């Protein structure tokens, strides 16, 4: 198979979908690897590194898209990349289609097999390709939030951990999953007061054990969320419904009741966001204010630490790349969890949460493969 890796073009997207080590293994297995010039440079992988691994460096993204049997990316294609879609192409990347009907339509129209990292499951029912970037984003969310609490960045002028005689900032984390757990680790490490809100009582008990009672846990309901957000200096949104649009947990009315200069970081923004006042932002223009509350809603947060993020992501994705390179249909039939990642195939939408979010018809991938 010919595997192609174009350079990411989303605003300040600095990650790359394949490392030189991965290229070397694919080459050793008899595959060809096309890497767009400078694709790995911002993740600290040079063209020379890829060439030494046996990959071919090409000067234009169009050449990669046109000649590859499977294109491996990090982020969902942006509009200027839609022109490269064609029947028979397999696209393996984060897609986050629920809030992107135009991309969904174009993948179906061009009959691309779109396999989304974020909907692949493993034998435990977890999301193995979403986990590493959720870990990065969760940890980053606190660092970012702490920076935006500084007065020069529009915040209240708080030091997250306080000092002796001065209380620390109050951090409210919405969602106790991978993002929330990693955010709590960093917030606690920086000395903040941390509250985690989740609707799953079993998960709240687990978190109480994990953190030895050092975090406050709250069952999610309208009253508790309202009060927790009102008291918070920093609110982090980490709610996930696999493949579907994120529910709006924090309403505009709740935001109006928050402290002036408080900060909100919506890690769920690439699935539409879990704050009603959230809208996607970029690394070039990352924040804005609503009712005096600073919002940070960058859709590709891990791109700010690309070396760590690329290594963490490819540790998880590369075994799937290897399987797909041996034959896409065979790989999907052999692994039902990998098949769950198929969002579009031969003009058909195959992901139920995306279909529900967009009001479209869908069919299970298994019925199409058989």
Contacts of 181 (CB under 8 A, 6+ apart): 138, 207, 210
pTM for this structure?
0.90
Name which residue leads in pLDDT, 296 or 11. Answer: 296
155 pLDDT higher than 80: yes
Q: What is the pLDDT of residue 103?
A: 98
Higher pLDDT, 234 or 369: 234
Question: pLDDT at position 244, please?
Answer: 82
Task: For residue 62, give every residue at least 6 positions away whose Cβ sits within 8 Å of its Cβ, in sequence order, or none.
Answer: 84
Report pLDDT for 33.
98
Residue 175 has pLDDT above 80, yes or no: yes
269-281: pLDDT as tens digits = 988 999 999 999 9
Summarised one tens digit per residue, pLDDT across range 70-87 is 999 999 999 999 999 999
Model pLDDT, residue 179: 97
Structure confidence by residue, pLDDT tens digits, 204-257: 999 999 999 999 999 999 999 999 999 999 999 999 888 788 999 999 999 999
Predicted local confidence at residue 240, as pLDDT: 85
Residue 224's alpha-carbon distances to 174, 207, 306, in angstroms, are 11, 18, 36
pLDDT at residue 107 above 90? yes
pLDDT of 261-320, one tens digit each?
999 999 999 889 999 999 999 999 999 999 999 999 999 999 999 999 999 999 999 999
Cβ atoms of 291 and 263 within 8 Å: the answer is no
* Across 54-68, average pLDDT: 97
Instruction: Give the pLDDT confidence score for residue 241 in this predicted structure.
Output: 84
Structure tokens at 306: 């690309």
> Could you give the residue numbers annotated as active site?
96, 270
Q: 116-151 pLDDT, tens per residue?
A: 999 999 999 899 999 999 999 999 999 999 999 999
Per-residue confidence (pLDDT) for residue 242, from 0 to 100: 80
Could you tell me the CA-to-CA distances from 366 to 36, 154, 339 in Å, in that order?
33, 51, 8
Whether residue 241 contacts residue 247, with contact meaning beta carbons closer than 8 Å, is answered with yes
- Quote the pLDDT of residue 17: 98
Q: According to the model, what pLDDT value does residue 121 have?
A: 96
Per cent of the chain over pLDDT 70 is 100
List the one residue out of 313, 331, 271, 360 whose CA is nearest residue 113: 331
């Amino acid at each position: 198979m010919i595997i192609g890796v174009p350079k990411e073009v989303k605003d300040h997207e600095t990650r790359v979908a394949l490392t030189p080590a991965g290229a070397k293994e694919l080459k050793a297995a008899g595959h060809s690897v096309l890497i767009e010039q400078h694709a790995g440079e911002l993740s600290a992988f040079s063209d020379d590194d890829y060439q030494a691994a046996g990959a071919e460096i090409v000067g234009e993204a169009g050449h990669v898209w046109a000649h590859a049997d499977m294109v491996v990316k990090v982020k969902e294609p942006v509009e200027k990349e839609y022109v490269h879609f064609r029947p028979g192409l397999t696209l393996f990347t984060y897609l986050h289609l629920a809030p992107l009907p135009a991309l969904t339509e174009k993948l179906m129209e061009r009959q691309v097999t779109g396999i989304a990292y974020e909907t692949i499951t493993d034998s435990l029912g977890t999301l193995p390709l979403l986990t590493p970037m959720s870990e990065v984003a969760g940890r980053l969310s606190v660092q970012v939030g702490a920076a935006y609490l500084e007065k020069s960045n529009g915040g209240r002028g708080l030091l997250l951990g306080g000092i002796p005689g001065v209380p620390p900032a109050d951090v409210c984390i919405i969602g106790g999953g991978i993002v929330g757990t990693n955010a709590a680790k960093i917030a606690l490490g920086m000395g903040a007061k941390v509250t985690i809100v989740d609707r799953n009582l079993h998960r709240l008990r687990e978190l109480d054990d994990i953190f030895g009672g050092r975090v406050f846990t709250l069952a999610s309901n309208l009253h508790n969320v309202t009060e927790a957000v009102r008291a918070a200096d920093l609110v982090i949104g980490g709610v996930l419904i696999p493949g579907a649009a994120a529910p709006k947990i924090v309403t505009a009315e709740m935001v109006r009741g928050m402290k002036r200069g408080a900060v909100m970081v919506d890690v769920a923004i690439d699935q539409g966001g879990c704050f009603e006042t959230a809208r996607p932002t970029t690394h070039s223009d990352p924040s804005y204010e609503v009712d005096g509350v600073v919002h940070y809603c960058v859709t590709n947060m891990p791109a700010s630490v690309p070396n760590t993020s690329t290594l963490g992501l490819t540790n998880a994705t590369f075994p799937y790349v290897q399987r797909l390179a041996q034959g896409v249909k065979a790989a999907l039939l052999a692994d039902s969890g990998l098949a769950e990642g198929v969002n579009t195939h031969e003009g058909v939408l195959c992901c139920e949460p995306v279909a529900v979010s967009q009001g479209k018809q869908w069919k299970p991938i298994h019925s199409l493969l058989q």
